[in-house]
Chain A
Amino acid sequence: MGRLVVLLELSNISKHFGAIQAVNDISLSFEAGQVVGLMGDNGAGKSTLVKMIAGNYRPSHGTMRINGNDIVLHRPIEARQFGIEIVHQDLALCDNLSAAANVFLGRELRRGIGPFRVLDYKAMYRRAGEIFKELRSETRARDLVKQMSGGQRQAVAIARTMISEAKIVLMDEPTAAISVRQVAEVLHLIRELRARGILVVLISHRMPDVFDVADRVVVMRRGRKVADKPIAQTSPEEVTGLITGAIEGG
């Protein structure tokens, strides 16, 4: 492997909700073009950690750095400006809108000039269709999300990250609710993202998925980081032990 540039750096990040310490003093650094598996039991703090990177939550303590510069994110829009995209665990889609409307939500394409700009339905349908084709997903841009299967919904959520020049894609349990064939498609997509030099943080419960695509695995337990290892230097058994606490990390 060539030299890798540190893209995203977390230093002593903590987050508490009232008395609950969801994330506790985590330091991590991520490089471009890596797939990092983030594992841990339910409630370990994985979603909270990636939500801080995506600008959904502000850390209670600690700093984040992108390309060596400190950043403070107040809202998801600001994270996106740094090329950070997230696929939420609950997918965060609007059932009453079309696939294309969901893909472009908050970043609608418009046509016209100045204050007279209107939504450009045609362009959004076309572009969303192109992305679904790239994802090799049988998802129609004009369909309402209400009527879609789990895999199609996943494709819509992932397509959201692909309409911009993302540098970091955070995926929270993208393979939890979909069929085996579609899991393969999502993993294929993750490799595709890595090939483009994108950092992918993959939260998953599924050991085979992580060992299939990840370069590195980070394990969290009760808000703390208990392991951070190259995938080649660990095994599913060890990771399972770290997750459950049978093996002490640190």
Chain B
Amino acid sequence: MATTLDQTIARRQRTLGGAILGSQTFWVLVAVILACLFLSFATDSFATAKNLYNITRNVTFVAIIALGMTLVIITGGIDLSVGSVLCLCSMVLAVTMHAGYGIGTGIAVSVATALVIGAFNGILIAYLGFPPFVVTLGMLSVARSLAMVASNNTVVFEFGPDHDKLLALGGGSTFGVANPVIYMVVLALLTGFVLRWTRIGRYIYAIGGNEQAAMATGLPVRPIKVCVYMISALSAGVAGIIQTGWLGAVTTNIGAGMELQVIAAAVIGGANLAGGAGTAFGALVGAALIEVIRNSLGLLGINAFWQGTFIGSATILAVLFDRIRNFRRSE
């Protein structure tokens, strides 16, 4: 009896292999790899150094924001304002540098803007009980409008004395890897580390799993929620800064509709909109799938109007997979 109880307690419910095969992220990764293999054989232009460089760089903007979004989604929230926050932060950076300030000041002001917006969203949601959907929908409108006010709705493409530094920051490469890709990898490792190895990470999952329980246990639920919205806005701000350096110009419509791609990336990567599930790696994989779909349509000569259909279908398919798994379990 004693030994059987010992054995039962010590037994693992699933093996590592089983856990991998059961994860949505793994299958999305397989889809990405298969799509890449297919495109390498089906087209001459996919597996070229230039195209791969472009793909990896294009992935980063959605992926970086998807990291922040994933944290929000794990807590059971949503942030619809990221596209507009990206725009506002880009514009604040551009206008500041255009006015003659250095790149350090520009980035500081831009990051501060993001943090203030995130804190505003978070405080309304965590302390005043506003629904995340409403608050961030409002901010979607406010942030873009502020970007228009800040720039008087013009295009900014001269960034003052540190112009070249900014372009190198976003447009340059290191050892053949586009700089934005390096930032993405670093941020993903950081996010993954926090989620898996720190208390805050664990509490983020706990809040998404059962907010009442987290409260009753005395976890700092509200501060953590404010924190995740600040990180989400910050990730949008960082993506905005990098994108500004890459594009070399800022208009008031950059990032428009981006929130949908970002949410799709997070969800495809395994984040659950009901809260409690999601990973940093999943966010990258989801963003990668979206970019590969987008890139491949162009290469295969399919009309770009189909893009939305494919990305939308991928989102639904990814979640369908999760549903099927749940059905099987409840049987």
Contacts and interface: CB of A to CB of B under 8 A. Distances in A.
A94 B206 contact: yes
A55 to B, nearest CB: 7
Given A95-B276, A106-B217, A119-B202, A90 B13 contact: no
B199 A119 contact: yes
A92 B210 contact: yes
B13 A119 contact: no
B205 A88 contact: no
B327 to A, nearest CB: 15
A140 B209 contact: no
B276 A129 contact: no
A140 B10 CA distance: 6
Contact of A140 (B12, B197, B214, B277): B12
Contact of B216 (A80, A88, A118): A88
Contacts of B212: 90, 92
Contacts of B10: 129, 140
Given A77-B218, A92-B212, A119-B197, A97 B9 contact: no
A143 interface: yes
- Residue among B5, B9, B212 with the most chain A CB within 10 A? B9
A132 B277 CA distance: 26
A88 B214 CA distance: 12
B77 interface: no
Interface in B261-285: 276-277
Interface in A52-99: 55-56, 75-77, 80, 88, 90-97
Contacts of A88: 213, 216
B202 A101 contact: yes
Contacts of A76: 216-218
Interface of B: 5-6, 8-13, 196-199, 202, 205-206, 208-210, 212-214, 216-219, 276-277, 329
